[in-house]
Amino acid sequence: MTSIGTGYDLSASTYSPDGRIFQVEYAAKAVENSGTAIGLRVKDGVVLAVEKLIHSKLLVPGANRRIQTVDRHIGMATAGLLADGRNISNRARGEGASIRELWKESPTVKAITERVALYAQAYTLYSSVRPFGISTIFGGVDKTGPSLYVVEPSGVCLGYHGAAVGKGRQLAKTELEKLKLSELTTRQAVIEAARIIYLVHDDNKEKEFELEMSWVGDETDGLHVAVPADLLAEAEQKAREALETFE
């Protein structure tokens, strides 16, 4: 970054001479230092998975969740600063409630995502605030079918068949591209998602981690819920076996 040290990175409302906003790039760095989160949009639903790094042995398993429910049929997974993720999830729930009250129907994933993206982008405009240091994957099943979107710290919002954010995103994207996502069921996607998370974690080998997964689709009657413990254990077992074969 040629402009570092010249004052162009002190405010989110200041452009550098080459048209960059360094505060937004720093927010993206916060995401890159976080555990990996992925989303798979398959033929009958969506699966979300997060590599939740365990920073202390004293933490209670299942605490500090990175996957949250936005609406009955929509979930979100975050990579980056945990507190920023809670802020975005509360905003997303508020937007969902607003749409439900105004239009008297369930909000679509796209509608909530676009509103949250506008909210995130507003935090890149003023010197009194800072950009959110998270990338968020929104997934759900609505009247248009399964949907998957990603909101970046800059406010960019894009739809995906398979998405990955966080430290191991490049390897995860490579693995996602190998899958025929439109032909997979959610149960098969759970197995694949666990395999990918274990693979990207093995590539980093930094700390212990906890696999957090949720799904929404035909298997869950259209509700966003955590993956059942028995299926999660099976997926983790197969992921470990695949990792040993890979090595």
The residue to which tokens 């954010």 are assigned: 165
Q: Give the pair of three-digit tokens for residue 80.
A: 């980056």
Residue 231 one-letter amino acid = L
Per-residue pLDDT of the chain (247 residues; tens, 9 = 90+): 454 547 888 889 999 999 999 999 999 999 999 999 999 999 999 999 999 998 888 989 888 899 999 999 999 999 999 999 999 999 999 999 999 999 999 999 999 999 999 999 999 999 999 999 999 999 999 999 999 999 999 999 999 999 999 999 999 999 999 999 999 999 999 999 999 999 999 876 767 899 999 999 999 999 999 999 999 999 999 999 998 886 6
- Torsion, Cα of 231, 203, 80, 225 (10° steps): -10
Which structural domains are found in the chain, ordered by start?
Answer: 22-245 (3.60.20.10)
* Backbone φ, ψ for residue 58 (5° rounding): -85, -10
Residues found in the chain: 247
Q: How far apart are CA 132 and CA 71, in angstroms?
A: 21
